[in-house]
Chains A and B, each alone.
Chain A
Amino acid sequence: NAGVTQTPKFQVLKTGQSMTLQCAQDMNHEYMSWYRQDPGMGLRLIHYSVGAGITDQGEVPNGYNVSRSTTEDFPLRLLSAAPSQTSVYFCASSRGPDQPQHFGDGTRLSIL
């Protein structure tokens, strides 16, 4: 039982490049979410999904896209990376938004 798996663990990008952060869960959770964590800022919600085919914006969605074609996978796309997107990104899943969220190990992303 792997829980929530994020790939890659580390990534360095140049400004303007695009990439996809992968997130997969094997707990059959309907609710999945992406957060970014910056020093001194806590975790901030980027996008979330309440089930396959349904996504919505969180607190800081600009510059990011998501899709949810299956219950298991919830990828996060950076369309044109900017230095302000340097952060640690966490994916989480749960049975619902008011249920305990299980976090992945995070992706540490640097934009040069």
Chain B
Amino acid sequence: GENVEQHPSTLSVQEGDSAVIKCTYSDSASNYFPWYKQELGKRPQLIIDIRSNVGEKKDQRIAVTLNKTAKHFSLHITETQPEDSAVYFCAARYSGGGADGLTFGKGTHLIIQP
């Protein structure tokens, strides 16, 4: 199966600065890598995703990069705002057999300091 490691567990940045969250995965058969944002007491919501045939994807202030050789992918948030404060989860979809679903990292609590 798949194993996803996420770092850091907590990240505090000044408003307006950039934030970077990193994840590694274990199996080269994984082919889909979404990122979810979860506010306290709410459902996870997809903010961006990337597939294994793409190296980078950007949506306004949010970007994701994927390095298949090193088996890691990162979330980049620029010009952070107070509403970016939340827990962010990376995930990987393992397609090499067995359970066909997402394996999540343990989350990063992003705190935007005013």
Taking beta carbons and an 8 Å cutoff, which residues of A are in contact with B? 33, 35, 40-45, 48, 50, 56-59, 90, 97-98, 100-101, 103-106
Known contacts: A98-B51, A100-B46. The answer to whether A50 contacts B106 by CB under 8 A is: no
Query: Does B100 contact A97, Cβ atoms closer than 8 Å?
Result: yes
Give the number of A-B contacts (CB < 8 Å): 61
CA distance A35 to B6 in the complex (A): 18
A104 and B44 form a contact (CB under 8 A): no
A48 to B98, CA, bound (A): 12
Interface of B is mostly: strand
A101 touches which of B42, B46, B107 (Cβ 8 Å): B46
Contact, CB under 8 Å: B43 / A48: no
Counting chain B CB atoms within 10 Å of each CB, which of A42, A56, A59, A105 scores highest? A42
| B95, A58: Cβ atoms closer than 8 Å | no
**Choice from B44, B45, B89, B99 contacting A58 with Cβ under 8 Å:** B99
In the assembled complex, which residues on chain B have CB atoms less than 8 Å from the CB atom of A57? 99
Nearest Cβ in chain A — how far from B84, in angstroms?
19
- Which one of A42, A50, A104, A106 lies within 8 Å of B104 (CB-CB)? A42
Q: How large is the interface on B (under 10, 10 to 19, 20 to 34, 35 or more residues)?
A: 20 to 34
B interface residues (Cβ-Cβ under 8 A, vs A):
1, 6, 31-32, 34, 42-46, 49, 51, 89, 91, 93, 95, 99-107
Known A42-B104, A98-B93, A104-B43; contact A56-B49, beta-carbon cutoff 8 A: no
Q: How distant is the Cα of A57 from the Cα of B101 in the complex, in angstroms?
A: 10
A64 to chain B, nearest CB (A): 13
The complex places the Cα of A97 from the Cα of B107 at a distance, in Å, of 20
Contact between chains at B43 and A100 (CB < 8 Å): no
In angstroms, how far is the closest chain A Cβ from the Cβ of B52?
A: 10
**A44/B99 in contact, CB under 8 A:** no
Is B105 in contact with A42, judged by CB distance below 8 angstroms? yes
**Residues A100 and B103 in contact in the complex (CB < 8 Å), given A42-B89, A90-B43, A90-B44:** no
Instruction: Give the residues in chain B near A35, CB-CB below 8 Å.
Output: 104
Query: Could you say which residues of chain A place their CB within 8 Å of the CB of B91?
Result: 43
Measured CA separation A50–B101 after assembly (Å): 10
